[in-house]
Structures are given as C-alpha cells and as structure tokens.
Amino acid sequence: MKHIGDNMVDQTRELVALPIVPIIDESIIPEKGPSNDDPLEHQFPVVEMFHSIQGEGYHSGKASIFIRFGGCNLACSWCDTKFDEWENMTLREMIQNMEQWDCNRIILTGGEPALQDLKTLSSVLRPLGYLLTIETNGTIVIDEGLMDWICVSPKDQMYPSVKIRQIIGDELKVVWVGQDLSMYDELKNGFTYHFIQPCYDESKNIEWNGNNFRDTFELVKSNPEWSLSLQTHKWMGVD
C-alpha cells in the first residue's frame, strides 16, 4: 500500500499548524435524561431534527432524517456543528416529529451521539421500521446489534492520546488534514468501507481549503483502497 509519504502530497503542510485542543470538554456533555420505565418518556438532548439528504460517505444521496444530539466529548478545531444548545425531548415527541416525513432512514449524529442511551433508541425505533445509522467519533464502544450502520469518523489525527474504542463497523470515514494514512492500517481492518474526506475548515481561507481538496484527490488516486467522500450538502447549501 502506498502512503502519503510515497506521493507528491505535502503531508507536513498543515499538521504543524493544528492547534492543541482540549481532549474532553465535560461542560458540553449533557446529563442523561432521567431513567423512566416507559422508554417513550425517556428524554434526549436534541439540538435539531431535520429531513435532508445524506451528503457524505457510503449513503451519500439518500434521503434521511437527521437527529442531532447535544454534547460532545471532543472539541475539534474545524467543528462546524452546533451541539452546545439543545432542547430536552421525550422519545415520544421525537417520533411524533418524525412522522411528518415519509422516510425510514435515521442518522444519529451530534455532537457525539454515542453519549446517548442507544439501547432505548434502538429498542423503540427499529420495531417501528426505522433504520438506524450512527455517525460517531469512535471514542465510545457501541453495544453490538443496536445499530443498522456504524460510521466511525476518528479524530485521533487531532488527539494522539485519544483511543478509538469502536474498532468495528461498516464505514470508516477519515477527515484528512495531512496525516499519514498508515495510522489507520490496523483500524481499517474492522470496517467494510473506507473513505477519506477533505477537511473543509471555514476558519481557513479558500486557498487552504482548495489545496486540501486537491491533496485529498491525489491521496485517493494513490491509495485506491480508500474512496473519496465529499460533503456535497455543503455545495448545495443545505443541512
């Protein structure tokens, strides 16, 4: 396998510029909702729910319901998702809200959705016919059999001391900021599909983002076991 160092991409260009960020920010992790015998009354911190089209990764192009949960255990510098303000909703209210959309694909996202009570979500939503995908940073192990699709997007390129604990799943989606792909040699064995996605960093200028896109394109050409993932929803200007 070729690695980034084997081709023309300059791998040091931005790694040196990445800021040191806190690994765990406890202040933005919501408390779990009160336990309740009725799972429909279980409360979840919901930032937003919306019906859109998956813009990236394996299921790109498929209409889906997105549930964005509040809170994350990381604080990536490029993060463009708002997860620190949420409304507590019961699962019953969430289901009632979703009934407005003719769609059975749900993407659990955040923030870090693995912080939530996935057992309750799975036990209620799957019997209703919903297919559950989770997009996680991989730092929390997900109990087997709860999800229909697990997409891990590791952030250990930013946090060398963070351990990726969810080492099996369907899709490994790496946000590329210049790191050596060999760091995923072991991890990728646990996943069926492998994607590299150029980091689009709104805090950087057009030139930086353009160069990062071009370098990712070259990287995929020289590492064909990886596929290119683009955030097509951003081009369309939709969520």
- Residue of 42, 155, 173, 194 that binds ligand SF4 (CB under 6 A): 155
Residue 81 CA to chain centroid, in angstroms?
Answer: 11
Tell me how far, at minimum, the Cβ of 155 lies from ligand SF4, in Å: 5
Q: Is the dihedral of CA 161, 166, 168, 174 positive or negative?
A: negative
Interface with ligand SF4, residue 137, by CB under 6 A: yes
Per-residue string for binding with ligand SF4, 68-107, x by CB under 6 A? ----x-xxx--x-x-x------------------------
Interface with ligand SF4, residue 18, by CB under 6 A: no
H/E stretch holding 208? helix 206-222
Q: What angle do CA 15, 182, 216 make, to 5 degrees?
A: 55
Contacts of 53 (CB under 8 A, 6+ apart): 61, 62, 63, 64, 233, 238
Tell me how far, at minimum, the Cβ of 98 lies from ligand SF4, in Å: 22
Tell me how far, at minimum, the Cβ of 83 lies from ligand SF4, in Å: 6
Contacts of 101 (CB under 8 A, 6+ apart): 51, 65
Nearer to ligand SF4 among residue 80 and residue 186 (C-beta) = 80
Tell me how far, at minimum, the Cβ of 39 lies from ligand SF4, in Å: 26
H/E stretch holding 206? helix 206-222
Tell me how far, at minimum, the Cβ of 191 lies from ligand SF4, in Å: 17
Binders of ligand SF4 among residues 102 to 131 (CB under 6 A) are 110-112
Q: Are 107 and 67 in contact (CB under 8 A)?
A: yes
Give contact residues for ligand SF4 (rule: CB under 6 A).
72, 74-76, 79, 81, 83, 110-112, 137, 155
